[in-house]
Amino acid sequence: MPKLKSKSGAKKRFRVTGTGLVKAGPAFKRHNLRKRSQKMKRNARGMSVMAAADQKMVRSYLPYL
């Protein structure tokens, strides 16, 4: 059986924790930041664990995760 291909965009955007949960960076943090409140920008730092339904979708994009 041939190898499965991963989605290139997903490889760059998602990481996995040691326990197997999928982490992703926040949305709305790229540009037009002058409109956003300081609280929103502060809370959007780093990466956070995704919801279970979203993790399932990401795992289909990355078969060897």
Q: pTM of the predicted model, to two decimals? A: 0.80
Segment 16-52, tens digit of pLDDT: 999 999 999 999 999 999 999 999 999 999 999 999 9
The domain ranges of the chain are 8-61
Task: Identify the architecture of domain 8-61 in CATH.
Answer: Irregular (4.10)
- Going by C-alpha positions, the residue among 60, 1, 54, 2 that lies closest to residue 23 is 54
**What CA–CA distances, in Å, run from 54 to 3, 6, 10, 35?**
24, 17, 12, 28
Helices (H), 1-65: 8-13, 38-43, 52-61
